[in-house]
Amino acid sequence: MIKNILSGISGYAGAFSLISKLKLWQYFIIPIVISILTATFIGFTAYGLSDNIGVFLAEIWIWDWGKETVTIITSFIGAIFVLVIGLILYKHIILALSAPFMSTVSEKIEIHINGSLKHNHRKTTFKEQLWRGIRINIRNLGKEILITIPILLLKFIPIVNIFSTILLVLVQAYYAGFGNMDYTLERHLNYKESINFIAKNKGVSIGNGIVFMLCLLIPALGIIIVLPLSVTAASVKTVALLNQEDERSVL
């Protein structure tokens, strides 16, 4: 698993130069606008909700003594909860709405690596690519929230909350990498086949997603560069994995 995670991370090496070499920046303009607008909306919403959630949780403490301390703690927990859910929503919104544009990027990267598209690639329209992106990300959004909520509850337990943070990052990373890899997979595999493929290569997905999440820690610039870098890296690695599968099937 660790080897595959490192492999997913290594896909980012040379991503900037590959984007420039293939003149891909033009395809990222609309996704970057989507990313900025989505991040801005979710950011303001999260800021407004965090205090409300904190006050709501503080109502559970019915005693007067320690009320102020409890309110501070619950406000902090509320902020974390809103931030995590906000990140999940941001991630899946931009991955879904950017699908048609990112499919074109991954296609050009595949042609650059292989010289052409494989004969078994699936031809899809803009509408089909958008629907596939929405379908995949709604599915992933539901699963990720179901997994994330219990992990967030573990933050109330001392010491355990340290490990829950690591687990939370891995879950977020996995689904970010999932969306990035599917831009390439949609040309080769159907919906269920893609899910199985990424489950089999979850380490690569996590590795790609880890850098995706790290990019978002960069103020302002992060939401601009996150898609160009992560999609390019995922495309390079996914094409390599597909090529390996083809080679194995021939043997």
Does 251 map to a domain? no
**Residue (of 55, 85, 59, 86) closest to 72 by Cα position:** 55
Does 248 map to a domain? no
pTM above 0.75?
yes
Task: Check: CB of residue 205 under 8 Å from CB of residue 196.
Answer: no
Q: Where are the alpha helices (DSSP H) in 27-159?
A: 29-58, 67-97, 99-114, 126-153
What's the pLDDT band for 165 if we cut at 50, 70, 90?
A: confident
Does 169 map to a domain? yes
pLDDT over 70 (residue 122): no
Cα separation, 93 vs 125, whole angstroms: 20
Does 247 map to a domain? no
pLDDT value, residue 125:
81
Structure-model confidence comparison of residues 90 and 164, the more confident one: 90
Residue partners of 60: CB distance under 8 A and separation at least 6:
none
Does 249 map to a domain? no
Residue 29, judged by CB atoms within 10 A of its CB (0-12, 13-18, 19+), counts as exposed
Domain count, the chain: 1
Residues spanned by the domain of 121: 2-241
Does 204 map to a domain? yes
Does 246 map to a domain? no
Does 140 map to a domain? yes
Tell me: the pLDDT tens digits for 16-53?
999 999 999 999 999 999 999 999 988 888 777 766 66
CA distances from 187 to 64, 82, 237 (A): 61, 35, 15
